[in-house]
Chains A and B, each alone.
Chain A
Amino acid sequence: MTKIRAFLTALFTFALSLSAPAAIDALDFSSVQQEKDYQSLTQELRCPQCQNNNIADSNATIAVDMRAKVFELLQEGKSKQDIVDYMVARYGNFVTYNPPLTVATVILWVAPVALILFGIFFILRRKPQSGAKQPAASANHAEAQSPALNAEQQRRLQALLKDKEQ
């Protein structure tokens, strides 16, 4: 038992920030909802020192401190938004994985909507042609227009269609 304790203490001392998985903090929550809030907050807040981790997954000193602070603020009865604002006031918008809505970031939401609208518009606007899309200067390929079929080809076509449907 002492050997395990020794190595685990060594572990604790050597725990480096970046790649070591986060310490498991066994906290006493006052309610299930508080525990869920804690989990969602620590997943939404970003560790300022790490290579892209949330504070839940990181053992960096600052991540540990931030988790403790989140717990403390939750115990004080602060709301989730309050806590995020608290961290943003100190570390800037970098610290939340939920980007703020500003003139510069609005493209995140506008561009996808615009793309979909443009696509729907494109589909509704186009006039289906029976042949090529536009008259062109260069040669039209024969297959671009529905070729007229003679009787023999019609029969072959019917036979092929029958095969295809099976």
Chain B
Amino acid sequence: MNKKLYLPLIVFLLLIIAFFVQLQRNSQGDDPKALESALIGKPIPAKHLTDLFDAKQHDDNLFKQGKPLLVNVWATWCPTCYAEHQYLNELKQQGIDIIGINYKDNSAKALKWLKDLGNPYQTVIKDEKGAFGLDLGVYGAPETFIVDGNGIIHYRHAGDVNPRVWQEKLEPVYRKLAEQQK
């Protein structure tokens, strides 16, 4: 009978532990609003893909290049995309292939942007209505996906790509996939 009286205390302590762990994670940069992708392990849902530059139609082979790819969702109205753009150029210099998705944007503005700031993308798909983004589970810009040689999504990063993010989160996945493809 006595032991029953400790039950509220035990339940309370369990709650505290859960809260403490979460606070620790939050203080280390965990964002409670970050949403994980529902498409990990699934293929890129490619339907109608129109090229930004020449309005050519692509099919899903665009994402099955036999080597890992970055898929970067960006737009000219997005200030964070502007911030990450230089680093994307650097990644291109290193030989990383990036496919760009111009998300809910004005094509003329997008073309001008790439002309002014450099084009780190192998191909750019225009997604004016955001339909492709919806299929990808995109909820903001920028977002970057890592896709393997067969077009399967392995990772989704919501937010900008900078040296720290690349080193800590994206590069390990990318290198591993590159190894596997060999």
Contacts and interface: CB of A to CB of B under 8 A. Distances in A.
Q: Do A and B bind each other?
A: yes
Interface of A: 48-49, 51, 61-62, 65-66, 69, 88-92, 94, 134
A88 B38 CA distance: 8
A91 B38 contact: yes
Given A49-B140, A61-B130, A65-B130, A94 B135 contact: no
Interface in B55-109: 104
Contact of A91 (B104, B130, B137): B137
Nearest to B135: A90
Contacts of A89: 38
A90 B39 contact: yes
B136 interface: yes
Contacts, number: 41
B5 interface: no
A92 B38 contact: yes
Interface in B5-58: 33, 35-39
Interface in B101-135: 104, 129-130, 133-135
Given A62-B140, A91-B139, A48 B134 contact: no
A48 B137 CA distance: 9
Interface residues of B, number: 18
A48 B38 CA distance: 12
Given A65-B129, A89-B38, 17 more contacts: A48-B35, A48-B137, A49-B33, A49-B139, A49-B140, A61-B130, A62-B138, A62-B139, A65-B133, A88-B38, A90-B38, A91-B35, A92-B35, A92-B36, A92-B37, A94-B35, A134-B1
Given A89-B38, A134-B1, A51 B130 contact: no
A148 B140 CA distance: 77
Contact of B139 (A48, A51, A69, A134): A48
A51 B130 CA distance: 22
B36 A90 contact: no
A19 to B, nearest CB: 15
A51 B134 contact: no
A69 B134 CA distance: 9
A43 B27 CA distance: 32
Interface in B139-182: 139-140
Contacts of B35: 48, 91-92, 94
Nearest to B140: A49
Contacts of B130: 61-62, 65
A94 B33 CA distance: 11
Question: 5 tightest CB-CB pairs across the interface, nearest first?
Answer: A92-B38, A48-B139, A90-B137, A62-B139, A49-B139
